[in-house]
Structure 1
Amino acid sequence: MLENNRGKNTADLPKLAAPSSQGVIVRNAIKSYGVGSRRSTVLDGLDMNVKKGTIYGLLGASGCGKTTLLSCIVGRRSFDSGQVMVLGGPPGTPDSGIPGPRVGYMPQELALYGEFTIKETLQYFGRIYKLEADFVDSQLDFLSKLLDLPPDHRYVKTLSGGQQRRVSFAVALFHEPELLILDEPTVGVDPLLRRSIWDHLVQQSVDHGRTVIITTHYIEEARQADAIGMMRSGRLLAEESPENLLKNYGLPTLEEVFLKLCMGDGSYKVKDAVVNAPISKEKSYTTSQNRLGGHENMAFNYSISQGTVYTINQSSSKSSENIIQDNEVISRRSRTFKMTMPSMHRSAALIHKNFMQTFRNIGMFLFVFLLPALQATIFCLAIGRDPTLLKMAIVNDELDPSEGRICNYTTDCSYFMFSCRYLRFVNNDTIIQVPYPNLSSAIEATRTGEVWGVVHFGQNFTDEIIIRQSDGSASSNETVIGSRIGVTMDFSNQQISVVLQRRLNEAFEDFTNDILRACDYEPTAGNIPVTFLDPVYGKKDSTYTEFMAPGMILTIVYFIAVALTAGVFISERKEGLLDRSLVAGVQMTEVLLAHLVNQFTILLGQTALVFLCMLAVFNIPCEGNLALAVFITLLQGLCGMSFGFLVSSICDSEISAIHLALGSFYPTLLLSGIIWPIEGMTSTWMRSLSYSLPQTYAIEALRSVFARGWSAELPDVYRGILISTGWIFIMLGLSLIVVRVRKHTG
């Protein structure tokens, strides 16, 4: 048996020669999770040997490190220290070809796409492996019979747990790989089918020389394996053929052998694992595995000294020391960040898969597709227009209470009842005039929220205003007070207050022009001598909606893209889907590319609908090149996707991703100049922070195209384009780095 040699002086150990045909070799593997006091060691100096063309059963309780070990073997994680050779090289190197089509991997999770049928699932992996259509069909038929799969038109999500496990197993077997890594494939499978599965694995090993590493909770079924590794607390307690384990320990079942090894392992010293074994000092054993006809012999020699067991293999000329040295060099190289060109057939398979997932739920797809247009519609209907139907109290002391306060006035050149003539020009759509008998009751109505303010005319308003006009600067203070229109308002709502002030001032200007026109004077003579001529850009009566529209377009597109991509990696990673594709040879660059193509296609339609809604339906003006405006918007959509990918790569759960995405929404909304000009920020450091955000320059660029008609040659426009492009590459690069770091740190 191979016993764990951790803590021994490796100089005193016999040299391990490499097998003539290498399968899997693991040396002194250490893997931990967590930091500080919470750090937990999962693999603790583990050694493992798997001969090519054999079945290796890995046994152990849940949490002993089996799944972590397998994920390191297939290249999805890395050991903290130690070495691994798989099919002639470390995982991730050309010598190994793993990850890639040389390995078939069935993880502990289901790792299947629930929206796919059984046939579509196998066809997807067939595209990944670039298999011929005839081979795919024949394998589907063969595996359906072997594993007793349901009809291939059934959706995976409609299958029972046991049926889903069988489909997952079929994916691992599908492309007939050299190495099969199976993490508990027979869980939930009935005994007859379990026997059929094992018979097939034995046949693959014997007839085709395929290597199989299988973990199982059913210890006794591992008797059909060529070798068994019994694992506990991150170490192998024993590594031997089932026959020799039973013979050496003199026990009838493997379960009893495993129990005895575990009971003798309490002190965590290697020699204690065999303290009660029925073997004597200086005795040697040789095990030959000839029980499978035509199988290549697998020889182990064991020398036992003072209760410690070492393993020597004499079938190769190359020493273990050279293998490990080569492995260390290659392992260090493999940890560098390398960018490989995406494969066309794998990228096409991923793109096809993403589109199938998108269109499977047509209701959700339409909701997502139409959501930006719906948000743009709500914005145009709800934001930027002047408030209407605002109640204002009118207290007109010029009216005689005995005559019922009837407001009479003329429209000719007559200086009579100016208060009533003025009120005729007060906009009735904006202001609803509510008459009150006295000032105190009107002010009380303002305090109780019945009206927004009070417009008060003195008893001699018309006479006093005529005297003021004739006396000019010589007017007395009493005349000035008597000729004014007193307005007392509720200023708790600034927007409403500003609108009311503007409407009341506009009404007085119209009233003055009307009097002068009726008396044959120049109507504009009474205006203040500040005249706003035709604007260079925009128009005099532009609305707040037009100011906000460019920022809202980019915000809608940006954050919809963030929302669609923020959970992309998380759901696939949690369900094992991402790992399974990556073990099949898919590169992260290909995953990103496929999602970018899928989301960008949706983004094109969403952007078209948003512009149609804003420009055609609600008449938001665009003075510049529409194609340039669309291009800037699409860049911001890509920027949002990139940020979503970054969020997805950082977070471990959908909830944390949602929190991070939503947490970025309000700072972006408030600091990017969407709802208020950046020039309104009093703090210099806050302005600098604003300009460091991905959206700020893009909003200025789109606003310049919309309102000014500027082209890409001008700085405000091309800065927005360049900075958006830079942010895209920065966030995509960070996403790839984070994914790579997470892989190596576990």
Structure 2
Amino acid sequence: MSAISVNNVTFKYHRNNVLDNFCAQVNAGEIYALLGPSGGGKTTLLRLILGRMNVQHGVIEVFGQQPGASNRRISYMPQNSALCMQFTVEQTLQYFMHIYRISSAEFSNRYTKLQKLLELPENECVINSLSGGQLRRLSLACALLNNPTMVILDEPTVGIDLLIIHNIWKYLNMRCRDGLTILFVTHYIEEATNAHKVGLMRNGRLLAEENPRKMIDRFKETSLENPIVSAYSKPMDTKPTPLLETLMFNLWIIMILIKRNLLKYSHMNCALICILLPATQVVIYCLVYSRPLIEITAAVYNEERPLMGEPSGYSTELLDSLVPVERHVIRPVLYPTLTAAIEAVTNGSAVGAIWFKANYSDSLDERLDAPMGADLDPDTIDTGSVHTYVDNSHIMFGQAFQHSLSESLLRLLAGLTRDRNGPNIEIPIRVEKTRNTEGLLIKDTGLSANLIFYIYLSQMILSSLVLTQERKDGLFERSLIAGVAHHLVVLSHLCTNFMIALV
């Protein structure tokens, strides 16, 4: 029975043929070694077998199925360790135990055998403290943990002691007699002698495929370099999985990924970003914005100030409802003459001057009551306008002054036009005054929004760092090959970030 069948596969990057009418067969229960120099197309071939890339021309079948259709019974050991460097040995093995859904009793039995075979480090050892050989042995243990039907190995014995290498191949040959299929990449011709069949690959073509000893004798002058391999495939039951079982499995995977994320965050220095960045930004924000609103003095000369007992005019209503702008609030100060008000602006005592002419309210009413397009007396237009004098030497204060006055006037006019039902009627004016700004700080209204923003930003940074590091280390792709779907990875990070935000 053919475990992997590659028939007339051609694959191009741009205009370059990476695979050129490539054909190969890997039988079930045999060890197949793939040899070839770097740049020969091995990585592309294995990614096509794994379903990580789509075939352009030709056909690839893995146990009679399309590449990538059978994930749960295939294990993959990449060239790099592809492990979480912040985990301990025990946490690493338990992560793959949960991914493969192995029971605790079965895990204990398999771990004991692998511990004896590979001489694994102590459970409490952190991954980033292990030597290169220890990392390779632990990575191989993760690949063999689920008793796969097929295992794909990339440089499986680099940096491992000769005695352990001998035991590994003895164990793998024993497993092959029980039906295990092994596809491995190596540049050691001596190691290829452990295979039942060797494929020699160069420039996207299979030059030979036969017994390794015959091939070594035949191609002993061939120059070989370190290959780069990425492959996986596993047989799966082709029966459709019930929806409830699929949902429960996805929920289980999300819980395992959340646990992994939390463990990883707890071992990463960058996890402090989730706490320190929002806290630091809140402190800085409060220090900057804890001052009260800045008052801007406006010199006011009002010629229509009402006498005692008379109702106030629109000018008084407008001055009482000046709108604060950002961190600035206008404080009107009455002056007895227009000259004195303008002088206050000139000498810097006020940012601007406001002049209401006599009969301002009457003229404004006349302008509002006039039909659309009516010709009004220029004196009425002039009297019904607010005259301002602005000191623009301080552009921020000057703009705040003009903005506040404009916004306040628009609100006043909006109220007048909304309540005006017809001409020549007395209209009750109600102007809602702005909120009392005494003792009010900017941080009191903006702190929540800033805190939420920086929590979101910090978690986005942390998730990006974790995903980038996992992709760089190879753990991301190794998890995908083990059966973890992309959307489950995204959901796990969303749930993890939500839990951290609640804390």
Displacement of 1:217: 1.3
Structure 2 distance, partners of 1:186, 1:578, is 22
* CA-to-aligned-CA distance 1:121-172 (integer Å, 9 cap, x gap): 1111010111111222232232222222222211111112222122111111
Displacement of 1:591: 1.3
Are residues 500 and 80 of structure 1, via their aligned partners in 2, closer, same or farther at CA, if it must alter by over 3 Å? Answer: closer
| Correspondent of 1:572 among 470, 481, 484 | 470
Structure 2 distance, partners of 1:42, 1:27, is 15
Are residues 389 and 160 of structure 1, via their aligned partners in 2, closer, same or farther at CA, if it must alter by over 3 Å? Answer: farther
Q: For residue 266 of structure 2, what is the aligned residue in structure 1?
A: 359
Q: Secondary structure at the match of 1:255?
A: coil
Q: Is 1:559 paired with 2:457?
A: yes
Residue 350 of structure 1 contacts residue 591 of structure 1 at CA under 8 Å; is this kept in 2? yes
Q: For residue 491 of structure 1, what is the aligned residue in structure 2?
A: 393
Q: For residue 581 of structure 1, what is the aligned residue in structure 2?
A: 479
| Correspondent of 1:171 among 142, 158, 165 | 142
TM normalised by structure 1 equals 0.46
Q: For residue 77 of structure 1, what is the aligned residue in structure 2?
A: 53
Are residues 163 and 531 of structure 1, via their aligned partners in 2, closer, same or farther at CA, if it must alter by over 3 Å? Answer: farther
Residue 274 of structure 2 contacts residue 459 of structure 2 at CA under 8 Å; is this kept in 1? no
Structure 1 distance, partners of 2:350, 2:489, is 67
Residue 130 of structure 1 contacts residue 345 of structure 1 at CA under 8 Å; is this kept in 2? no
Are residues 154 and 235 of structure 1, via their aligned partners in 2, closer, same or farther at CA, if it must alter by over 3 Å? Answer: same
Displacement of 1:75: 2.4
Q: Is 1:348 paired with 2:244?
A: no
* CA-to-aligned-CA distance 1:308-331 (integer Å, 9 cap, x gap): xxxxxxxxxxxxxxxxxxxxxx9x
Over the residues paired in the alignment, what is the CA RMSD in angstroms? 4.3
Are residues 488 and 581 of structure 1, via their aligned partners in 2, closer, same or farther at CA, if it must alter by over 3 Å? Answer: closer
Structure 1 distance, partners of 2:55, 2:159, is 31
* Matched AA of 1:343: N
Are residues 186 and 495 of structure 1, via their aligned partners in 2, closer, same or farther at CA, if it must alter by over 3 Å? Answer: farther
Q: Secondary structure at the match of 2:193?
A: helix
Q: Secondary structure at the match of 2:19?
A: strand
| Correspondent of 2:164 among 193, 200, 212 | 193
Q: For residue 369 of structure 1, what is the aligned residue in structure 2?
A: 275
Residue 23 of structure 1 contacts residue 50 of structure 1 at CA under 8 Å; is this kept in 2? yes
Structure 2 distance, partners of 1:227, 1:490, is 86
Q: For residue 24 of structure 1, what is the aligned residue in structure 2?
A: 4
* Matched AA of 1:220: E
Displacement of 1:545: 5.1
Displacement of 1:52: 0.5
Residue 113 of structure 1 contacts residue 156 of structure 1 at CA under 8 Å; is this kept in 2? yes
After the TM superposition, which residues 357-506 of structure 1 pair with which residues of structure 2 at under 5 Å, given as runs? 357-361=264-268, 364-383=270-289, 385=291, 453=348, 489=391, 491-495=393-397, 498=400
* CA-to-aligned-CA distance 1:485-529 (integer Å, 9 cap, x gap): xx9956344148747999xxxxxxxxxxxxxxxxxxxxxxxxxxx
Q: For residue 89 of structure 1, what is the aligned residue in structure 2?
A: 65
Residue 149 of structure 1 contacts residue 166 of structure 1 at CA under 8 Å; is this kept in 2? yes
* CA-to-aligned-CA distance 1:201-245 (integer Å, 9 cap, x gap): 212112x12110011111122112100000111211100012433
Are residues 365 and 570 of structure 1, via their aligned partners in 2, closer, same or farther at CA, if it must alter by over 3 Å? Answer: closer
After the TM superposition, which residues 548-697 of structure 1 pair with which residues of structure 2 at under 5 Å, given as runs? 548=446, 551-605=449-503
Name the structure where strand makes up a greater proportion of residues. 2
Q: Secondary structure at the match of 2:76?
A: strand
Structure 1 distance, partners of 2:501, 2:487, is 20
Q: For residue 518 of structure 1, what is the aligned residue in structure 2?
A: none
RCO higher in structure (CA 8 A, sep ≥6):
2
Structure 2 distance, partners of 1:501, 1:349, is 55
Structure 1 distance, partners of 2:286, 2:57, is 60
Residue 30 of structure 2 contacts residue 182 of structure 2 at CA under 8 Å; is this kept in 1? yes
Q: For residue 176 of structure 2, what is the aligned residue in structure 1?
A: 205
Q: For residue 300 of structure 2, what is the aligned residue in structure 1?
A: none
Displacement of 1:354: 1.1
Are residues 27 and 187 of structure 1, via their aligned partners in 2, closer, same or farther at CA, if it must alter by over 3 Å? Answer: same
* Matched AA of 2:71: P
Q: For residue 230 of structure 2, what is the aligned residue in structure 1?
A: none
* Matched AA of 1:175: N
Q: Secondary structure at the match of 1:46?
A: strand
Residue 104 of structure 1 contacts residue 179 of structure 1 at CA under 8 Å; is this kept in 2? yes
Q: Secondary structure at the match of 1:78?
A: coil
* CA-to-aligned-CA distance 1:262-284 (integer Å, 9 cap, x gap): 9xxxxxxxxxxxxxxxxxxxxxx
Residue 55 of structure 1 contacts residue 225 of structure 1 at CA under 8 Å; is this kept in 2? yes
* CA-to-aligned-CA distance 1:668-718 (integer Å, 9 cap, x gap): xxxxxxxxxxxxxxxxxxxxxxxxxxxxxxxxxxxxxxxxxxxxxxxxxxx
Residue 85 of structure 1 contacts residue 91 of structure 1 at CA under 8 Å; is this kept in 2? yes
Q: Secondary structure at the match of 1:491?
A: coil
Displacement of 1:55: 0.4
Q: For residue 255 of structure 1, what is the aligned residue in structure 2?
A: 220
| Correspondent of 1:139 among 87, 103, 110 | 110
Structure 2 distance, partners of 1:501, 1:152, is 67
* Matched AA of 2:31: I
Structure 1 distance, partners of 2:49, 2:19, is 13
Displacement of 1:534: 4.2
Structure 2 distance, partners of 1:560, 1:215, is 41
Residue 31 of structure 1 contacts residue 79 of structure 1 at CA under 8 Å; is this kept in 2? yes
Displacement of 1:81: 2.2
How many matched pairs? Answer: 392
Q: For residue 316 of structure 2, what is the aligned residue in structure 1?
A: none
Name the structure where helix makes up a greater proportion of residues. 1
Q: Is 1:157 paired with 2:137?
A: no
After the TM superposition, which residues 35-114 of structure 1 pair with which residues of structure 2 at under 5 Å, given as runs? 35=14, 39-93=15-69, 98-100=70-72, 102-114=73-85
Displacement of 1:550: 6.2
The alignment-based identity, stated in percent, is 36
Q: For residue 539 of structure 1, what is the aligned residue in structure 2?
A: 435
Structure 2 distance, partners of 1:387, 1:493, is 17
Displacement of 1:384: 7.9
Structure 1 distance, partners of 2:271, 2:187, is 42
Residue 454 of structure 1 contacts residue 489 of structure 1 at CA under 8 Å; is this kept in 2? no
Q: Is 1:115 paired with 2:22?
A: no
After the TM superposition, which residues 308-347 of structure 1 pair with which residues of structure 2 at under 5 Å, given as runs? 341=247, 343-347=250-254
Q: For residue 224 of structure 1, what is the aligned residue in structure 2?
A: 194
Displacement of 1:533: 4.3
TM normalised by structure 2 equals 0.67
Structure 1 gaps, min length 5: 1-20, 263-329, 331-339, 393-429, 432-442, 457-486, 503-529, 606-746
* Matched AA of 1:359: S
Structure 1 distance, partners of 2:135, 2:79, is 12
* Matched AA of 1:357: K
Structure 2 gaps, min length 5: 226-237, 239-245, 298-329, 332-342, 352-388, 405-427
Structure 2 distance, partners of 1:543, 1:531, is 31
* CA-to-aligned-CA distance 1:432-479 (integer Å, 9 cap, x gap): xxxxxxxxxxx9xx9xxxx9x4679xxxxxxxxxxxxxxxxxxxxxxx
Displacement of 1:173: 1.2
* Matched AA of 2:67: P
* CA-to-aligned-CA distance 1:17-48 (integer Å, 9 cap, x gap): xxxx2311111222333x4xxx5432222111
Structure 2 distance, partners of 1:220, 1:369, is 53
* Matched AA of 1:89: Q
Structure 1 distance, partners of 2:212, 2:401, is 89
Structure 2 distance, partners of 1:173, 1:57, is 18
Q: Secondary structure at the match of 1:349?
A: helix
Residue 387 of structure 1 contacts residue 496 of structure 1 at CA under 8 Å; is this kept in 2? no
